Amino acid sequence: MKKVTMVLSVTVISFLFSSVNAQQAIGIKGGVNITSLSGFEGRDRISGHIGVFLHHTINNNWCFQPELLYSGEGQRYMSGGVERTLALGYLQLPLMIQYYPAPQVYLEAGPQFGLLLSAQDKSDSEAGQINAKDDFTTGQVAIGVGIGYKASEQLILYGRYNFGLTDVSRFDNIVDHSNVGQLGVAIRLKH
């Protein structure tokens, strides 16, 4: 409960702080995720992310962009000679500060808070699908860094990497940080 309260508090403060003397734009974004868990051996899981953002221009060089995203994360791994996929679904709240060294290019960084929505351990074999939600913590914290290119006032191409800071697993002695590379497209709907 403390984590949820903290996330909500940070969100409210962020929106209030960024509304003062700022130009705002809302938009949608989505793209591909390439994900892994640091404590697992195996192949990266390819999935996706989709959501909304509120872009606040502070001045010519600085912007603040809170987002609300659904993000598919996890890992592919081998168990008993069978390839399995650990599919984790998160509701993510990135709070990104963007710096524009040039009018079309930005660099960004900021914290990200996540809430676990689902966790499935699945394969194509008879072993099927297992609900693994109890094996993972309900929240996670990460730091995101990225780069973006404004192709126009409405269309933005971006890449971001989220470095997991918290252990997302509950019961083993191995630390599992969720690491996520993202490539995507953002569309500003209102400026």
Q: What is the pLDDT of residue 7?
A: 53
Q: What does the DSSP assignment read for 108-153?
A: EEEEEEEEEEEEEEE-SSTT-EEE-GGGB-SEEEEEEEEEEEESSS
The parts of the chain modelled with pLDDT lower than 50 are: 1, 12, 16, 18-21
Q: What does the DSSP assignment read for 4-45?
A: HHHHHHHHHHHHHHHHTT-EEEEEEEEEEEEEEETT--SBPE
Q: What is the pLDDT of residue 12?
A: 47
Q: What is the pLDDT of residue 11?
A: 54
User: What kind and span of H or E run contains 82?
Assistant: strand 82-102
Contact 183, 32 (CB under 8 A): yes
Q: What is the pLDDT of residue 20?
A: 46
CATH of 2-190, one of 3.40.605.10, 3.40.50.720, 2.40.160.20, 3.40.630.20: 2.40.160.20
Q: What is the pLDDT of residue 113?
A: 97
Nearest to 184 by CA among 138, 144, 141: 144
Q: What is the pLDDT of residue 3?
A: 57
Which residue matches tokens 């002695």? 173
Work out the end-to-end distance of the chain between its first and last CA atoms, rounded to an integer number of angstroms. Answer: 36
pTM for the structure as a whole: 0.83
Contact 33, 180 (CB under 8 A): yes
Q: What is the pLDDT of residue 125?
A: 67
Q: What is the pLDDT of residues 38-59, one digit of tens each?
A: 887 889 999 999 999 999 999 9
Q: What is the pLDDT of residues 141-157, one digit of tens each?
A: 999 999 999 999 999 99
**Domain range list for the chain:** 2-190
Structure tokens, 124: 């194509």
